C-alpha cells in the first residue's frame, strides 16, 4: 500500500530499497511540480504568492514538529517559541552584527537548535504528559524572555528587520521572496526525507514504536530523544527566520501558545509521521481561514445573513468553522491529509480495479 | 430622436469610465480578535461613514469608494497577507487600519508602497513622519496618520488635569502617580512619557504595577496600589482587563483616582463595570459624544442610520471617532482629486497636509481640528477629558436605556490643549 510499486519491481540493492521516490513517474512528477512552482510568480498575484510563502515557512516549522511528534513520538507544545527564537535571532544578528540576511537564516536555525537541545534535555527522562508540561515551560520561559530582553528582541514593541539581499538585488517582493522560500523548503524537506532513511532516522522511529525494544537493541534513548528536539528546533528556527525577513517585523505577541497548538494542528491534520503531510497540514491551516473568509463574504448581506440576523457575528462563524474542521478531521481522517492523498493516488493507479 | 439617444449613449459611454471608476480602499478591522470589544464600534463607524460618502456625497468627485473590509482578528500575519492581496489585486490607494499589531507590522510596507495608512493605533512613535526625533526604535513613518491625540499626549493631558485637580482639592504634599498595565506595546507606549511628565509636574512616581491584558483577579494589584499610597493610577490596558481591576479595587475598598486610556473606557465598559467605573477619568477624541448637540451631529446620526435604519442604536465614543478618521481620509482624497487630479497614495498623503486646523466639512463640533505637517503627524494636541458617572444598577437594560435614564453619564470635565513641544515628537 505504501509505495504502490508495480508488480515485478524488485529491490536488488540497498540504494533501491531506501530511495525516496521509488518510481520513475514519481520522480518526473516531483521535477515537474518544482518546475511549475518556479513559474508561480509569473502566474499568481502577490496575494496568492504570500499564501504560498506562508505555507512554505510554516511547513518547514511543521515538519520539524512532525519529526519530533510523528517520527520520535515525543510531544512539544512550545514549538511557536522556538519559531519565534529563530525569527529574533536572525533579526538580531542582522541588525547588531550586520550579518547578511541569507547567512542569518541558517545561523538562526543552528542557534535555535542549540537552545532547543537545552530545553530538550528533560525529554531524555520524561514522557507523555510530563514532557508536555516541560515543553509548556519552555514556551512560557522563552515568551517571557522575548518580552523582557530589550537588547535582543526590542522588548514588547518588537524589532524591525530587513529583506535579504543577493548580490545587491533585494528580495523584498513576494515574487522574489517566493524563490528563497522555495529553495529552503526543498532543502529542508529533502533533508528530512534523507534523515528518515538514515541510521539516526530509523533510530528515532524505533524510539517511537517501542522505546523498551529500542533500548534493548542498543539505541541510546536519551541521546535520540534530545537529538530529536534539536532537529525540531532547527526546523522551527529556519522557518521563523524566513517568517521574520518576510514580515519585516517581529513581535513577541505572535509566538504565543495558541500558535504552538496551531503547529500541532498542522501536524495532525497533515499526517503524523509523514514528511509531505507537514506541508499539506500547513497549507490546510493557511488556506482554511482564507476559504472561510471567502464564504463569509459571500454570506454577508445575503438572504441567509438577513434571515438569521448574523450581521457582525459572521466573523465568529469563520472562527468556528476552523475549529469544526479540525474536529471533523480528527474523527474522519485521523491519519491526516497524507493518507487521503495516498488513497487518491491509489484510486487512479488501480482504476478501475480498486475496491 | 435616434440621434439624441445615440449622443446620450455616447456621452454616457465616455463619461462613465472616467467619472464612475471606483477608488479602491482597504479597511482592516478586528471584529473577532482580542480587541474586538472596541474594534467593532470603531470599524462600524469607519464602514458606515465610507458607505455614507458613497450614497450621499456621490463618492470622491463622483467616483465611488470601493471599500474592501477585512476582519483580521488582531493577528499581524493575517493583516500582512491581506495587505498583499490589496496592493496586488485591488490596488488600494489608502487603508483604514486598526491596532498596534497590524499598524507596526505594516509601517515599512506602506512607506515602501506609498499607501496612506490611517490607523486607530495612536502610538506616538507613528507621529515622527520624517524620522527627525532621533529616538531609539522610532523611524520615519511618512504614510501613517491617525485622528486624535497620541496615547502619550492623552496621558500628558490627564496628568496636567490631575496636578490641577490635586491643587484644587487643597491636598497637601506630593501626589503619587503609578502606571498600570500589561507588559505589551499598547500599555507601554505612553509609559515613559507619562512617568517623565509626572516627575516634571511634581508627582512621586511609584514603580509600575503589572496586570495582564485579559480579565482576571487583580486583587493583589489593588492591594499593592493601596500599600503604595497611590493617588492617581493610569490604566493602560483595554476595557476587559481594566474592568477587572476596577471591580477588584472597589471590592478591596481602594480609593484611587483612576485615569483610563482612550480604548480602556467607554459606555459598554461602564455598563460592565457598574459602580466600580464611577469617577474614572478618560480621554475622548471627539468634541461631542452620542446624544450631545453640535452642528456636525446631524451628519453623525445620518451615518449611524447606514447600519441601523431604525435609528435608535446607541453609538459609543469609538464609533464617532471612526467617523472622524474616515472623513479625514475622504477629504484628503478629495484634495487629491481636485482639478481632475489622480487619486494616488502620494497625492492623498499631500492632501493631509493641505489644511490647517482641519475639521472635515459638515462635522463641525464633532471632529476636533487636526493639523498635519511633513515632519509632524501629531494631528491634534487637544484632549477632551470625560468622567464616567454611574449612579445605579447597570445590570438591567441596554446601554442606550441606561444613558437615557441617566444611570450612566459621561461628563466633560476639562479640555486640555497641550503645547506642541518639539521634544515630545515621536515619544
DSSP string, B370-424: B---SSB-----EEEEEEEEE-S--SSS-HHHHHHHTSEEEEEEEEEE----GGG
The shortest C-alpha distance from A38 to chain B (Å) reads 19
Residue-wise pLDDT for A329-345, tens only, equals: 888 888 888 888 888 88
CA separation, residue B302 to residues B45, B53, B311, B365 (Å): 12, 11, 9, 16
Q: Do B76 and A251 touch (CB under 8 A)?
A: yes
- Among B185, B193, B268, B310, most A C-beta atoms within 10 A, so best to mutate, is B185
Q: What pLDDT, on the 0 to 100 scale, is given for residue B21? A: 87
Q: What pLDDT, on the 0 to 100 scale, is given for residue B221? A: 92
Q: What pLDDT, on the 0 to 100 scale, is given for residue A347? A: 83
Of A168 and B296, the one with more pLDDT: B296
Q: Do A45 and B112 touch (CB under 8 A)?
A: no
Nearest CA in chain A to B91: A46
Q: State the Cα–Cα distance between residues B370 and B42, nearest whole angstrom.
A: 19
Q: What pLDDT, on the 0 to 100 scale, is given for residue B206? A: 94
Q: Is the pLDDT of residue B2 over 80?
A: no
DSSP 8-state secondary structure symbol assigned to residue B34: T
CATH class of A43-350: mainly alpha
Of A302 and A130, the one with more pLDDT: A130
Q: Do B77 and A51 touch (CB under 8 A)?
A: no
Residue B55's pLDDT band (cuts 50, 70, 90): very high
| Residue ranges of domains in chain A | 43-350
Cβ-based contacts of B70 with chain A (< 8 Å): 293
User: What SS3 class is residue B284?
Assistant: strand
Beta-carbon contacts below 8 Å between A and B: 87
Q: Do A147 and B71 touch (CB under 8 A)?
A: no
pTM for this prediction: 0.81
Q: Do B70 and A251 touch (CB under 8 A)?
A: no
User: What SS3 class is residue B243?
Assistant: helix
The shortest C-alpha distance from B135 to chain A (Å) reads 14
- Among A40, A50, A53, A255, most B C-beta atoms within 10 A, so best to mutate, is A50
**Nine-digit cell at B139?**
523611524
Q: Is the pLDDT of residue B232 over 60?
A: yes
Q: Residues 6 or more apart from B133 whose CB is under 8 A from it?
A: B425, B426, B427
**Nine-digit cell at B349?**
498623503
- Among A43, A144, A245, A247, most B C-beta atoms within 10 A, so best to mutate, is A247
- Among A46, A56, A159, A311, most B C-beta atoms within 10 A, so best to mutate, is A46
The shortest C-alpha distance from B107 to chain A (Å) reads 9
Residue A313's pLDDT band (cuts 50, 70, 90): low
The dihedral region occupied by B369, where left means phi > 0, alpha psi between -120 and 50, and beta the remainder, is beta
Of A50, A158, A248, the CB nearest to B185: A158
Residue B16's pLDDT band (cuts 50, 70, 90): very low
Q: What pLDDT, on the 0 to 100 scale, is given for residue B77? A: 74
Q: Give φ, ψ of B251 to 5 degrees.
A: -65, -40
Residue B17's pLDDT band (cuts 50, 70, 90): very low
- Among B108, B140, B188, B427, most A C-beta atoms within 10 A, so best to mutate, is B108
Of A50, A254, A316, the CB nearest to B32: A316
Measured at the alpha carbon of residue A157, what is the angle toward residues B258 and B213, in degrees to the nearest 5?
A: 40
Q: State the Cα–Cα distance between residues B323 and B49, nearest whole angstrom.
A: 5
Q: Do B73 and A46 touch (CB under 8 A)?
A: no
Residue-wise pLDDT for A103-118, tens only, equals: 999 999 999 999 999 9
Residue-wise pLDDT for A224-254, tens only, equals: 999 999 999 999 999 999 999 998 888 887 8
Nearest CA in chain A to B34: A253
| Beta carbons within 10 angstroms of residue B215's beta carbon | 17
Q: State the Cα–Cα distance between residues B419 and A9, nearest whole angstrom.
A: 84
Torsion sign, CA atoms B315, B317, B319, B321: positive
Residue-wise pLDDT for B234-293, tens only, equals: 999 888 889 999 999 999 888 899 999 999 888 999 999 999 999 999 999 999 999 888
% of chain B beyond a pLDDT of 90: 64
This model of the complex carries an ipTM of: 0.70
Least confidently predicted of A166-170, B333-337, B348-352: A166-170
Q: What is the mean pLDDT of residues B387-412?
A: 90
Least confidently predicted of A22-31, A54-63, A346-355: A346-355
Taking an 8 Å Cβ-Cβ cutoff, which residues of chain B contact chain A? 31-32, 40, 44, 70-71, 73, 75-78, 80-81, 84-85, 87-89, 101, 104-109, 112, 125, 137, 139, 183-185, 188-189
Q: What pLDDT, on the 0 to 100 scale, is given for residue A232? A: 95
Of B75, B125, B188, the CB nearest to A156: B188
* Domains of chain B and CATH, by start: 2-149+296-353 (3.40.50.2300), 151-286+381-424 (3.40.50.2300)
Taking an 8 Å Cβ-Cβ cutoff, which residues of chain A contact chain B? 45-47, 49-51, 54, 147-148, 154-158, 160, 172, 174, 243, 247-249, 251, 253-254, 289, 293, 312, 315-316, 318-319
% of chain B beyond a pLDDT of 70: 95
The shortest C-alpha distance from B16 to chain A (Å) reads 27
Q: Do B80 and A50 touch (CB under 8 A)?
A: yes
Query: Do the Cβ atoms of B145 and B116 come closer than 8 Å?
Result: yes
Residue-wise pLDDT for B166-179, tens only, equals: 999 998 889 999 99
Q: Give φ, ψ of B96 to 5 degrees.
A: -95, 115
Q: Do A247 and B76 touch (CB under 8 A)?
A: yes
Query: Do the Cβ atoms of B282 and B261 come closer than 8 Å?
Result: yes
The shortest C-alpha distance from B358 to chain A (Å) reads 31
The shortest C-alpha distance from B400 to chain A (Å) reads 19
DSSP 8-state secondary structure symbol assigned to residue B286: S
Q: Do A50 and B89 touch (CB under 8 A)?
A: no
- CB hemisphere CA count around B229 (13 angstroms): 7
Burial class (CB in 10 A: 0-12, 13-18, 19+), A325: middle
Which of B264, B270, B319 lies closest to B297 in space, CA to CA? Answer: B319
Angle, helices A257-270 vs A275-299, to 10°: value is 110
Torsion sign, CA atoms A195, A198, A203, A208: positive
Q: What pLDDT, on the 0 to 100 scale, is given for residue B5? A: 53
User: What SS3 class is residue A192?
Assistant: helix
- Among A41, A45, A156, most B C-beta atoms within 10 A, so best to mutate, is A156
Query: Do the Cβ atoms of A275 and A192 come closer than 8 Å?
Result: yes
Of A156, A172, A312, the CB nearest to B31: A312
Q: Do A247 and B80 touch (CB under 8 A)?
A: yes
Amino acid at each position: 500500500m505504501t509505495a504502490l510499486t508495480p508488480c515485478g519491481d524488485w529491490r536488488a540493492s540497498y540504494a533501491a530499497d531506501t530511495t525516496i521516490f521509488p518510481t520513475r513517474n514519481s520522480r518526473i512528477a516531483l521535477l515537474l511540480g518544482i518546475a511549475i512552482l518556479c513559474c508561480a510568480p509569473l502566474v499568481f498575484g502577490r496575494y496568492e504568492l504570500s499564501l504560498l510563502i506562508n505555507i512554505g515557512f510554516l511547513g518547514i516549522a511543521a515538519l520539524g514538529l512532525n519529526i519530533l511528534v510523528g517520527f520520535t513520538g515525543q510531544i512539544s507544545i512550545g514549538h511557536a517559541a522556538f519559531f519565534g527564537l529563530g525569527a529574533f535571532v536572525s533579526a538580531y544578528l542582522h541588525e547588531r552584527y550586520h550579518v547578511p540576511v541569507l547567512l542569518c537564516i541558517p545561523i538562526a536555525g543552528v542557534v535555535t537548535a542549540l537552545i532547543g537541545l537545552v530545553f530538550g534535555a528533560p525529554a531524555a527522562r520524561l514522557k507523555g504528559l510530563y514532557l508536555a508540561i516541560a515543553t509548556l515551560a519552555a514556551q512560557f520561559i522563552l515568551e517571557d524572555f522575548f518580552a523582557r530582553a530589550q537588547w535582543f528582541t526590542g522588548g514588547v514593541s518588537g524589532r524591525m528587520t530587513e529583506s535579504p539581499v543577493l548580490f545587491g538585488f533585494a528580495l523584498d517582493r513576494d515574487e522574489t521572496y517566493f524563490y528563497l522560500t522555495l529553495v529552503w523548503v526543498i532543502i529542508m524537506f529533502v533533508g528530512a526525507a534523507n534523515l528518515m532513511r538514515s541510521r539516526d532516522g530509523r533510530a528515532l522511529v524505533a524510539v517511537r514504536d517501542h522505546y523498551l525494544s529500542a533500548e534493548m537493541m542498543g539505541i541510546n534513548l536519551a541521546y535520540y530523544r534530545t537529538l530529536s528536539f534539536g532537529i525540531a528546533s532547527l526546523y522551527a528556527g529556519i522557518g521563523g527566520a524566513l517568517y521574520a525577513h518576510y514580515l519585516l517585523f517581529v513581535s513577541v505577541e505572535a509566538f504565543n501558545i495558541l500558535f504552538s497548538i496551531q503547529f500541532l494542528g498542522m501536524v495532525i491534520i497533515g499526517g503524523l509521521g509523514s514528511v509531505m503531510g507537514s506541508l499539506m497540514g500547513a497549507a490546510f491551516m493557511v488556506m482554511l481561514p482564507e476559504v472561510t473568509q471567502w464564504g463569509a463574504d459571500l454570506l454577508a448581506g445575503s438572504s441567509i445573513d438577513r434571515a438569521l440576523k448574523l450581521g457582525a457575528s459572521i466573523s465568529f462563524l469563520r472562527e468556528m468553522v476552523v475549529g469544526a474542521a479540525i474536529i471533523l478531521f480528527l474523527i474522519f481522517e485521523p491519519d491526516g491529509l497524507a493518507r487521503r492523498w495516498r488513497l487518491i493516488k491509489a484510486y487512479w493507479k488501480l482504476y478501475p480495479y480498486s475496491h | 430622436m435616434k440621434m439624441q439617444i445615440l449622443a446620450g449613449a455616447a456621452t454616457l459611454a465616455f463619461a462613465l469610465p472616467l467619472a464612475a471608476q471606483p477608488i479602491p480602499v482597504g479597511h482592516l478591522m478586528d471584529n473577532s480578535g482580542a480587541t474586538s470589544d472596541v474594534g467593532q464600534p470603531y470599524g462600524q463607524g469607519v464602514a458606515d461613514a465610507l458607505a455614507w460618502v458613497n450614497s450621499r456625497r456621490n463618492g470622491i468627485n463622483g467616483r465611488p469608494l470601493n471599500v474592501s473590509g477585512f476582519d483580521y482578528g488582531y493577528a499581524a500575519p493575517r493583516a500582512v497577507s491581506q495587505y498583499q492581496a490589496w496592493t496586488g489585486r485591488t490596488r488600494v490607494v489608502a487603508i483604514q487600519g486598526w491596532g498596534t499589531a497590524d499598524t507596526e507590522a505594516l509601517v515599512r510596507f506602506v512607506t515602501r508602497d506609498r499607501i496612506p495608512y490611517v490607523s486607530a493605533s495612536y502610538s506616538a512613535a507613528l507621529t515622527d513622519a520624517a524620522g527627525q526625533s532621533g529616538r531609539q526604535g522610532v523611524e520615519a513613518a511618512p504614510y501613517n496618520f491617525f485622528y486624535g491625540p497620541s496615547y502619550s499626549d492623552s496621558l500628558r493631558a490627564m496628568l496636567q488635569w490631575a496636578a490641577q485637580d490635586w491643587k484644587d482639592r487643597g491636598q497637601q504634599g506630593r501626589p503619587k502617580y503609578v502606571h498600570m498595565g500589561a507588559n505589551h506595546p499598547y500599555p507601554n507606549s505612553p509609559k515613559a512619557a507619562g512617568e517623565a511628565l509626572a516627575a516634571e509636574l511634581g508627582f512621586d512616581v511609584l514603580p509600575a504595577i503589572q496586570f495582564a491584558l485579559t480579565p482576571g483577579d487583580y486583587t493583589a494589584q489593588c492591594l499593592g496600589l493601596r500599600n503604595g499610597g497611590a493617588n492617581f493610577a493610569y490604566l493602560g490596558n483595554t476595557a476587559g482587563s481594566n474592568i477587572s481591576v476596577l471591580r477588584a479595587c472597589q471590592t478591596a475598598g481602594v480609593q484611587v483616582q483612576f485615569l483610563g486610556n482612550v480604548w480602556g473606557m467607554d459606555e459598554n465598559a461602564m455598563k460592565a463595570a457598574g459602580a466600580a467605573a464611577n469617577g474614572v477619568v478618560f480621554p475622548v477624541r471627539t468634541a461631542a459624544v452620542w446624544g450631545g448637540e453640535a452642528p456636525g451631529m446631524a451628519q453623525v446620526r445620518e451615518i449611524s442610520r447606514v447600519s441601523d435604519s431604525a435609528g435608535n442604536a446607541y453609538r459609543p465614543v469609538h464609533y464617532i471617532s471612526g467617523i472622524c478618521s474616515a472623513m479625514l481620509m475622504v477629504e484628503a482624497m478629495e484634495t487629491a482629486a481636485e482639478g481632475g487630479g489622480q487619486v494616488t497614495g502620494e497625492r492623498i498623503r499631500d492632501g493631509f497636509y493641505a489644511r490647517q486646523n482641519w475639521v472635515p466639512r459638515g462635522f463641525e463640533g464633532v471632529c476636533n481640528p487636526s493639523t498635519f505637517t511633513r515632519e509632524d503627524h501629531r494631528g491634534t494636541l487637544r484632549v477632551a477629558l470625560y468622567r464616567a458617572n454611574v449612579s445605579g444598577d447597570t445590570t438591567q437594560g441596554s446601554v442606550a436605556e441606561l444613558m437615557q435614564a441617566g444611570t450612566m453619564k459621561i461628563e466633560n470635565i476639562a479640555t486640555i490643549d497641550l503645547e506642541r513641544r518639539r521634544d515630545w515628537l515621536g515619544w
